[in-house]
Amino acid sequence: MKEFTAQQIADIVGGELYGIDPQTTLSAGVETDSREVSPGDIFVARRGETTNGIEFAPSAIAAGAAIVIAEAVPTVGDDTLPSCVVTDATVALGKLASASVEALRETMTVIAITGSSGKTSVKDLVSVLLAGEGETVYPPNSYNNEVGVPLTALRAGEETRFLVLEMGARSIGNLAYLTSLIRPDIAVELNVGAAHSGVFGSIDNTARAKAELVESLQEPGWAVLNADDPRVRDMQNVLAQGVNTMWFSEGEPTRPDTTVWASDVTTGATGRSSFVLHLPGEEPAQVELSLLGRHHVSNALAAATVAHLCGVTARSIVTTLATAGAASRWRMELVDSPNGVTVINDAYNANPDSMRAALITLAEMGRGDDENPPRRTVAVLGEMLELGDTSIEEHDKIGSLVVRLNISRTIAVGEGARPIYQAANLEGSWGNEAAWVENISEARDLLQSELQPGDIVLFKSSRDAGLRFLGDEIAGVSGAQ
């Protein structure tokens, strides 16, 4: 965080100070979890759904917090704790992050990434690509909302050269709010899919919400757009005058001078893709991705585009893409278990697009090639949440797909995933190719009785379905729950 005095912070957030010298300087971290507080930090006591952060103000001060931003004066007995009292602590968090970024903007580039799928993977790739150019701050996991984005931004300081933000939206106006706090210099639009269509009401509303990111750009900002997605292509129409556009595409473009693209894309039994990378003004270069799944080609192109705009050399981009693995957990995470079963744990998020991509990768790995023999494939699939009225239809499509891909064994877990099993049977699954179980416990019992050395098993579901923990257990990952 940029250094501020307590009085400056009070002025920024519209608060009133209690129990602290107004000239006290504050430049350490900012936390909303009292358990994460370190000496000198600011503790923001947000009001949550079940608890009020002010209840944890005493423990935050005991841990060394210099001041508490809260919606009432925190006390211990008759003693007033050092605090800044505001109307809304979450709003205050955003205002503080905004002021800190603006104070650092002259020496820092802000990159924001959104899309229906792939945000976290691209955020991780961009962060690795830029780290060699200077101090790069990026969010852990998926800190992409009105709390996570400001917390990430407040980690940037005087030495930070790049601030990489993942921005998510659950309704129209979310991205407009986030970008009103922290305006990006480079905005990346990955795709517009059916994810959260139950929340937005339609895919067109999803596109409208996602477009708010590039609408925030000002001259001479850059919009990085996916030329392969028609709804993303249309976003060039909402750009402000003077904003530049750089495209990425998996096909040869009409404007090579403004497009990063791939040719000769192949994916073998390892599940990893290779392609020839074309950067404007550079010689084509062969790339072998470390990440698992054909869909990561598009993610790699998006990340390479950002890196190119930020001055990373072509050689460094190629080398980094070949070595960068999944930095965030439960995203196409590949583990060879002690009992000889290969586990693909991709059960942190799920939507129709990412579900299809994961299943295609599983099928490709199972088919084998000249160097790898065919293997039995098992798909353990949970519910894709937030699909609204399209939920049954989208799960039904997945059930048909597993049969067409010749997945050896499909296990649908939970009531919401039952249409996968039903559609697989209607599509032509027979014998024990498809099964439905009511819960994770039944899925565990079934897997433990059936899995054999050499099998490849995919775990894929939305986070709240909980399959990621079963995936850890089957993989023998330490700390599995």
Distance, CA of 350 to CA of 366 (rounded, Å): 21
**Taking Cα atoms as reference points, which of 252, 256, 259, 261 lies closest to residue 236?**
259
Contact between 152 and 165 under an 8 Å Cβ cutoff? The reply is: yes
Contact between 193 and 116 under an 8 Å Cβ cutoff? The reply is: yes
Q: Please give the biggest Cα pair distance in the chain.
A: 76
Distance, CA of 157 to CA of 167 (rounded, Å): 20
Distance, CA of 441 to CA of 455 (rounded, Å): 20
Contact between 76 and 65 under an 8 Å Cβ cutoff? The reply is: no
The angle at the Cα of 338, spanning 324 to 335, to the nearest 5 degrees, equals 20
Distance, CA of 347 to CA of 52 (rounded, Å): 31
53 marked ligand binding residue: no
Number of residues in the chain: 481
Single-letter residue type at 97: A
Strands (E), 74-226: 75-76, 79-80, 83-85, 109-114, 135-137, 160-166, 186-189, 222-226
116 marked ligand binding residue: yes
- Tell me the pairing of strands 42-44 and 67-70: parallel
Q: Please give the backbone phi and psi of residue 218, each rounded to the nearest 5 degrees, phi first.
A: -120, 155
Could you give the dihedral angle defined by the CA atoms of residues 288, 292, 296 and 301, in that order, rounded to the nearest 10 degrees? -20
**H runs (alpha helix) in 113-250:** 119-131, 148-153, 174-181, 197-200, 203-215, 230-233
Backbone CA torsion sign across 225, 227, 228, 234:
positive
Residue 32's Cα: distance from chain center in Å? Answer: 20
Sheet with strand 186-189: strands edge to edge: 135-137, 160-166, 109-114, 186-189, 222-226, 244-249, 259-267, 272-278, 285-292
118 marked ligand binding residue: yes
| 275 half-sphere exposure, CB direction, 13 A CA radius | 28
* Alpha carbon distances (Å) from 476 to 11, 325, 444, 447, 479: 52, 20, 13, 13, 9
Tokens of 254: 């009409």
115 marked ligand binding residue: yes
Contact between 135 and 162 under an 8 Å Cβ cutoff? The reply is: yes
Contact between 477 and 469 under an 8 Å Cβ cutoff? The reply is: no
Binding site as annotated, residues for ATP: 115-121
Binding site as annotated, residues: 115-121
